[in-house]
Every structure is written in C-alpha cells, then in structure tokens.
Amino acid sequence: MKKIAVGIDTIERLKVRQEIIFNQYSKVIHLTRNAPKKRDDLISTGSMYWIIKRRVLVRQKILDISSVIRGDGSKGCEIELDKELIHVIPTPMRPFQGWRYYSSEEAPHDLSRNNNNDEEMLTDELNAELIKLGLY
C-alpha cells in the first residue's frame, strides 16, 4: 500500500512524527477514512510505502488494521505499523489522494545495508541526484 506522507519533507521528519504518535498511543498508527479491502493480505505480508516529496523512500510493515469510531462519531480505520522504517530504492511517484495498492511486482525493493547495521544510508538529496542520473 502506498501513501503520501502529507506535510513531511524528509524521512527524519516522518520518524519524529511517528515518535510523537508512539509516545501518545504506545504504538505507531495511521488513521484513514476508509478501510482497505485487502486487509488480510496486508496484515500477513503488506507494508505501507511512504511517499515523501514525490518519491517512495521508506516502508513499514503493517501489523494490524481495525475499524474505529472517531471523536466526532464518524467511522475510520486505524492501521498499525511496525516502528522500523525500511529504506527502499527511491521511486518517483505522481501525486494522488488517499492510498493505493502496490502489486508485489511493482513495489520498490529494499536498499541493503550490506552487513553493517551502523552504516549510514544515503541522504535524500543524494538519492534524488542518483534518480535524476538514472543510477537507481
């Protein structure tokens, strides 16, 4: 599933926003109006792919999806996400509203960190340049 990270301009800002959510709810959640029809598939193998500045940059595993009633009495959907942000090959994406499904064939592949977990990932700016040069 792909979703635009509204108001977010870097992966670091997404981390900060999700830390605030985690501190408030003891889990990372994303609220949306409509529930995905492919709920069971998303929970078993799906991820939320975050679009930041028109590029898919990271993903998070989807842990659970549940219906909720909002404070104003309207129905909504709560998507619980794993805390880990997994960097993916930056992929250009046109804007859209809401969320869309990815087929497993078209979803961006994860960027490997080689075998060193402390290795820094490339900056968003450097990734953008690599995309422009066609090196991804």
61 falls in which pLDDT band (50, 70, 90)? very high
Find out whether 47 and 61 touch, Cβ atoms under 8 Å: yes
Model pLDDT, residue 113: 59
70 falls in which pLDDT band (50, 70, 90)? confident
Q: If you write DSSP's letter for every residue of 18-55 in order, what string do you get?
A: HHHHHHHHSSEEEEESS--TTHHHHHHH-EEEEEETTE
Q: Give the number of C-alpha atoms closer than 13 A to the C-alpha of residue 49, restricted to the C-beta side.
A: 25
Model pLDDT, residue 19: 98
Q: What is the DSSP letter of 113?
A: B
pTM, to two decimals:
0.82
pLDDT, tens digit (0-9, with 9 covering 90-100), for 99-112 = 899 888 899 999 86
Average pLDDT, the chain: 87
